[in-house]
Amino acid sequence: MTPERQYDLALFGATGFTGGLTARYLAENGPEGLRWALVGRNRAKLESVRVGLERVLGSGVPAPELLEADAADAGALSKVASVARVVITTVGPYALYGEPLVAACAAAGTDYLDLTGEPEFVDRMWLGYHERARSSGARLVHCCGFDSIPHDLGAYFTVKQLPEGVPLTVNGYVRMGGQFSGGTYHSAINGIARARQTLGAARQRRQAESRPAGRAIHSATPRPRRDRDLGGWVVPMPTIDGPIVRRSAAALERYGPDFSYGHNLVVGSLGTLAAITGGIGVVGLMAPLPPTRKLLLKAKAPGEGPSEATRAKGWFKVRFIGEGGGQRVVTEVSGGDPGYGETAKMLAESGLCLAFDRLPPSAGQVTTAQAMGDALLARLQREGIDFSLLEPAAG
């Protein structure tokens, strides 16, 4: 836990779509006497957000204070990091705007949380700031929304149902329904456009990062197929979630001496699969070229997002099948709107967890399972995200 600071939490991005939902969640569900601040470059916009929050404040939760800082102003960011125990940011694309805040938190020994799903950014931050954060005691926790908490904690929950000290294999199968915001769309387009930089950062990290002594961590072999039990076509899902799960496994001995994880998407029909594949292919061709990338980015503005009615129809289910020691278990993580309602909840609860819960020692760039594990799992279960054991261990 960081030394006493003026604020328990500081939130960047509250004037944006997902940041606004996160601020509202904290206002409605924060603990009594929460010391928190909203941070941004435009004070008038921050004032407007605070006025809206004052109408929904929970019992004993004070209105947030306001701090002015630009995402590119290193001096202002250092001041924010020095007065907060935990800093949360929803300001992306993170590869373009995120590094100065990570640097400030790593230097100040301040815990840092974000919503990134950008592998390049996560790898570059590990290369640049992991050791500095270990020295200062800061916990740098990326991917604290739908990327990648349900998958990371879901695999962790599954592993806990299996025998200890034996080789384990876990496969995750994702189904979901919902829409994405302008900020998420822009991050995705920029991530695809930066494929070369992403591969380069991953290669540098592999060369620099040590492996766990006496233990092996693998990616399960992908196998596209039709699966009747899962109710659709199963294809590999090449998102950041799989690497995050495997990093948790590398950090925690509970995952056994030899651990494999595969991450998969389940779609209902070949037509849906073809549409997804075709859309990704078109974006993959257009995003690297500046003129066509500009056209793609114009299709959805940052700050836009689905309506409350649309979000209410959103859902996700992640099924996990775990095997090891002659036993097999089936678990499931499920919840509502994956991109926004539940993401805001997961991010806010992660911040509260780091600020207030008794946690195992950790520092540097760490995963949610590594940094918060059982404490965050309990928080999310209390708030309606379901972690279920569908089929107990059976030999």
pLDDT band at 320 (very low <50, low <70, confident <90, very high): very high
From residue 217, how far is each of 123, 147, 158, 259, 350 by CA, in Å?
18, 21, 16, 5, 26
Report helix, strand or coil for 9. Answer: strand
pLDDT tens, position by position, 171-222: 999 998 876 656 667 667 877 888 889 999 999 999 999 999 999 999 988 7
39 backbone dihedrals φ, ψ, rounded to 5°: -125, 135
pLDDT of residue 395: 64
Q: Domain ranges for the chain, please list them.
A: 7-144+342-376, 149-338+386-394
Tell me the Ramachandran region of residue 185: left when phi exceeds 0, alpha when psi lies from -120 to 50, beta otherwise: alpha
**CA separation for the pair 313, 157 (Å, rounded):** 26
Nearest 5°: phi and psi at 56?
Answer: -125, 10
Q: pLDDT tens, 258-280?
A: 999 999 999 988 788 778 777 77
The first and second tokens of residue 316, run together, are 């996700």
Q: 323 vs 157, 169, 361, CA distance in Å?
A: 13, 5, 29
Place of tokens 């089929």: 391
Higher pLDDT pick, 15 / 188: 15
E runs forming strands in 187-290:
216-219, 225-227, 232-236, 258-267
**Distance of alpha carbon 112 from alpha carbon 89, whole angstroms:** 8
Which residues, at least 6 apart from 352, have a Cβ–Cβ distance to it below 8 Å?
9, 26, 30, 31, 379
Task: Give pLDDT tens digits for 24-51.
Answer: 999 999 999 999 999 999 999 999 999 9
Could you name the CATH architecture of 7-144+342-376? 3-Layer(aba) Sandwich (3.40)
Predicted TM-score of the model (pTM): 0.93
Edge-first strand order for the sheet with 7-12 is 65-68, 36-40, 7-12, 84-89, 111-114, 139-141, 364-365
- Classify domain 149-338+386-394 at the CATH topology level: Dihydrodipicolinate Reductase; domain 2 (3.30.360)
Topology alike, domains 7-144+342-376 and 149-338+386-394:
no
For residue 1, pLDDT beyond 50: no
For residues 95-101, average pLDDT: 95
